[in-house]
Structure 1
Amino acid sequence: MKPFEDRHFNSADGIRLHYREYAGPADQPPVLCLPGLTRNSRDFEPVAEAVAGEWRVLALDFRGRGLSGPDPDPRRYLPKTYVRDVLKLLDQLGIADAVFVGTSLGGLVTMLLAGDDEERVAGALINDIGPEVDPAGIERIRGYVGKPQRWAGWTEAGQAFQAAQGDVYPAWKPAAWERYVRRLCRENEDGSIVLDYDMAIAEPFGQANDSTQPNLWPLLNGLDGKPVTILRGERSDLFSAEVADRMVRELGEAAELVTVPGVGHAPSFDEPESIAALRRLLDRVRTAQG
């Protein structure tokens, strides 16, 4: 594993938030990694293994996940809140712009941030999310998010996730599933394994009404003309091929669509195709930066 530093900063409303920092050059935008709904900075270990050193890599734990503090008011577990947290981090570190790598919720946060302040985005990889999502995927996520679980050890946890999500990563062997749960879960003092997020993050997600969701397509305007990669799992039940194709059409020739074969929602960056796509994006960012 590439060496990193655990660092913290305070959100505007006083919550202590955590991010990993992997060293890299200061004369180019860093790679800023934003995780999915129930995930954390550990998800991006494969990204750091691939590009840290050549690029500075920052991987954030959204509030209520990983080593970041929980929000005492669950109503603030919203994408707009996470956008403010990301901007606070960038401002505190004096970072003018970054290459955003956002998985699912992290990709939505990237699109929202670009809509608010497009100059902060040097490039973006949007992983398995778009302005429209498939209701089937949303219902699947609602079925498990915010429900506490406990396992006796890592092997048992890996087996449980393989049984529940085997259709998402059908080619994975037991070792891959254990690696997956070590990113998603934490070990208690008694040796039991639990999910590493505040169960209250489910409250605003579960209350969302799909019929009243705003039109998010205009958010792509903030990414127009920038190097963008749209990453999609071939088996994704959240991000349809039709939405992915439309995103690339609207973003134009600066955008690349990469479909990762044999995986669902969402590609984990353990796939060679995902890392190759990221490398191509970074090469395009470097060219655009001159």
Structure 2
Amino acid sequence: MASDESFSDFFYPAADGLKLHTRIYGERNADAWPVICLPGLTRNARDFHELALHLSRKAEIPRKVIAFDYRGRGQSDHDPDIGHYNVGVEAGDVFAGMSALGVEQAAFVGTSRGGLIIHVLGALKPAVLKAIVLNDIGPVIETEGLAHIRSYLDRAPKPKTLAQAVDTQRRVHGADFPALTDADWARMVRAICRETAAGWVPDFDPALVDTLAGIDFSKPLPGLWPQFDALAAVPLLAIRGGNSKLLSAASVEEMGRRHPGMETITVEGQGHAPFLETGTLPREIADFLDRAERESE
């Protein structure tokens, strides 16, 4: 069912029967690699709207773009078993969506948790990955960044108006994102929240917060270096927020050492995770995908 002129909604069943949702942009763009966009822990397909418009309409090589809502986010069903809110199950849901759409291979853009899911996809079926953009995520997650995420999710307020919701996000994240404009903050709120009779509420299953409850933030989290090393043959662009607490500059340096062809972008004035629609990022991402596809021929 068409939502507006820029994208359509596609629903498909997960292996366990949950109804899951994607947005599809540029559906008729069949002459280039499609792009699959995977959002962060509590985020959804709306995060990629502006980037998807650029890749599907404005880029030199227009592409079909598919943005996923994981289970429990956006327009996808909530899961009664919160144990299913994990990257393994979500990777399976992405495979199911690709199968339902008839997509065998694609370039992938993964923000935060989306990048972790890309690591899992590569471990399970590496041939699906034609190129990768990792947005502020790598094989090592800094516990400070994850603790910050849990702290603001635990005490998330319930603003009544859009202006209050924007103010809330600015107060929580403003120190890490001094480069954002008023329009950026408003767009962020519309992407991560939905308006209800009770006010602006986060557009995800509240039970997701419980999945972070058992993490000991005093200890380093297990790394994914073997899974990252398995991506060495895939063209890779790593984007890091200059103020990120989740992805360290040292991790990016080590990623580049292990993946000599990796390209990097540091987004100054932004933290975790950079807004992919800001500045020159849409053009730089499109150019990276174009180069990767040309060099594969």
Q: TM-score, normalised by structure 2?
A: 0.92
SS state at 2:277 partner: coil
Q: Give unmatched runs, 5+ long, in structure 2.
A: none
SS state at 1:231 partner: strand
Q: Give unmatched runs, 5+ long, in structure 1.
A: none
**Correspondence for 2:69 among 54, 58, 61:** 61
Whether contact under 8 Å (1:29, 1:95) holds in the other structure is no
**Correspondence for 1:193 among 200, 207, 226:** 200
2:253 equivalent to 1:245: yes
Supply the distance in 2 between the matched residues of 1:221 and 1:117 (Cα, whole angstroms).
Answer: 14
SS state at 1:92 partner: helix
2:226 equivalent to 1:218: yes
RMSD: 1.7
% identity of equivalent residues: 35
My pick for the range that moved more, 167-176 or 89-98, is 167-176
How far off is 1:262 after superposition?
1.1
**Correspondence for 1:288 among 275, 280, 295:** 295
How far off is 1:277 after superposition?
2.7
SS state at 1:47 partner: helix
Whether contact under 8 Å (1:127, 1:230) holds in the other structure is yes
Whether contact under 8 Å (2:143, 2:220) holds in the other structure is no
Supply the distance in 2 between the matched residues of 1:81 and 1:191 (Cα, whole angstroms).
Answer: 32
What pairs up with 1:1-290 in 2 under 5 angstroms?
A: 3-23=6-26, 24-53=28-57, 54-145=62-153, 147=155, 149-188=157-196, 190=197, 192-209=199-216, 211=219, 213-253=221-261, 255-290=262-297
Against the structure 1 CA distance between its residues 29 and 173, is the aligned structure 2 distance closer, same or farther, given a 3 Å change threshold?
closer
SS state at 1:183 partner: helix
SS state at 1:151 partner: coil
Against the structure 1 CA distance between its residues 191 and 204, is the aligned structure 2 distance closer, same or farther, given a 3 Å change threshold?
closer
Supply the distance in 2 between the matched residues of 1:175 and 1:102 (Cα, whole angstroms).
Answer: 23
SS state at 2:264 partner: strand
Supply the distance in 1 between the matched residues of 2:249 and 2:115 (Cα, whole angstroms).
Answer: 16
SS state at 1:122 partner: strand
How many residues align? The count is 288
Supply the distance in 2 between the matched residues of 1:47 and 1:134 (Cα, whole angstroms).
Answer: 27
How far off is 1:213 after superposition?
4.4
